[in-house]
Each structure stands twice: as structure tokens, then as C-alpha cells.
Amino acid sequence: MRLYIIRHGETKLNALGCLQGWTDEPLNKSGRDLAVITGEALKEVPFDLVITSPLKRARETGELAVAASEAFFGKKIPVIEDRRLMEFNWGSWEGLCCLESNFEIPDPNYNSFYTDPFQYQGAPDGESVADVMKRTADFFNGLIHNPAYEDKTILIATHGCALRAMLNPLYENKDSFWQERVPYNCAVTIIDAKEGQAKIIDKDRIYYDESLCFDHYKVVSDNVKS
């Protein structure tokens, strides 16, 4: 089994630096463009299946990322949605902005989402990072142990926090949740799995010019939160 795990392309809320979580935001033009570029780079990959978060930005990224492969091989690739691949749920904080210039999050401990994510609890009506790790692990372990998929090539379209949560057990440094940063939009991690054992072959690869990489989310200074 070979897995190509992609973070969705950019959205308007990404560009504004706002929390989007379960907000069903579509890709913006840049997001669609990067997904198409990524798909062109992967056109000779014989995908059998796309598994995607049901959120628009992930599903659209998944479909765009396999479109060139569909054309190259002359076949339609089926798409399955799985709610376990959805992003961190910010609850009532959805849509609030979190940059130095527009900070709105009512949480003095917000920076711990980046500095101590394993313990981060999020909004009272949302999820913790531990919650996301649990549901994405349930998805991933079920997938790699599924004999129906053992010889398949699958594209998985998901989100930044969900991707890091799902792949944490496979990273060399498991104590580093973010692996230095939120994955760039349309970054791809390639994994080989056999008999329930998985390993990373290529991590956070981008197929577009590095000048188009943006780190939308990061720690903010204490005076911004006060």
C-alpha cells in the first residue's frame, strides 16, 4: 500500500490568518492553482482511490490532485469521505483571527496550541489535540490493516493539525507535534505500508515554487493576547 497524504490548498480564511477548523470553506484561486500543480507532478501515479475529509477544501484538493492521473490513465478515481479526517474543531472560536495583526482568540493559553499541543484543550465546545490524535489514529490504523487496500495506491486529503496528529507515531521525533511548522498548503507526505506497518518515504514535499509557501499560523507575542 502506498499513501499520498496531502494537506488541502489555501482558502480565504488561511490567507486572512483565521481559525477555520470545521468551517466549510472552499479553496481560493491560489489553493486551486497549487492543487492543480501538485496533481500535474503526480499524474503518473496510478491512484486507485481518494479518501478525503468531507470539508470542501479537502475534497476539492483531493479531486484536483488526482485529475491529471485520471486523464493520464483514462480512468475515474473513486472518492470516499471520512469524518475522522476533519480538522481540529475550534467550536465557538471558528472564524476568529489569530495573527499578530488581527488577534481575536479569547484564550491566554492559545500559544500552547503550537508550543505544547499534546496538552492543548482548545475551546470549551471544541476539541483537544488529543481528541484529534485519537480519531485520526483510528482512521489510519484501520486503513493500513485493511486487506482490501493492501495493494492500493491511495491519496488522502486532510488538514494541517489532523495530518500532524495522524502521522505523529511515524515521525522520527514524536515529541515534536508540528515538526517545525504547520504543513504548507498542498504539501505531500508519502508512506508505504505493509502488513499493518507503515513508514514515511517522503515528508512534506511540495511540488510548486518555494516562493509560494506561506506559514499562515504561528505563535503570537504576549502583548497581542493581553
pLDDT (0 to 100) of residue 87: 98
Q: Are 143 and 149 in contact (CB under 8 A)?
A: yes
pLDDT (0 to 100) of residue 223: 64
pLDDT (0 to 100) of residue 217: 83
Helix orientation angle between 56-73 and 29-41, rounded to the nearest 10 degrees: 30
CB-based contacts of 65: which residues, under 8 Å, 6+ apart? 4, 6, 35, 38, 39, 42, 155, 157, 186
pLDDT (0 to 100) of residue 225: 62
Which residues of the chain are modeled with pLDDT < 70? 223-226
Nearest to 5 by CA among 64, 50, 48: 50
* Alpha carbon of residue 40 to chain centroid: 20
pLDDT (0 to 100) of residue 168: 98
Helix orientation angle between 129-144 and 160-167, rounded to the nearest 10 degrees: 60
For 81-138, write each residue's pLDDT tens digit: 999 999 999 999 999 999 989 999 999 999 999 999 999 999 999 999 999 999 999 9
Quote the pTM value: 0.96
* Alpha carbon of residue 9 to chain centroid: 9
pLDDT (0 to 100) of residue 226: 55
Q: Are 96 and 126 in contact (CB under 8 A)?
A: no
Sign of CA dihedral 77, 31, 216, 103: negative
Q: Are 7 and 15 in contact (CB under 8 A)?
A: no
Kind and range of the H or E run holding 205: strand 197-205
CB-based contacts of 20: which residues, under 8 Å, 6+ apart? 11, 13, 14, 57, 87, 90, 94, 95
Euclidean distance between CA atoms 204 and 188, whole angstroms: 5
Residues in a beta bridge with 5: 156, 189
Euclidean distance between CA atoms 170 and 193, whole angstroms: 11
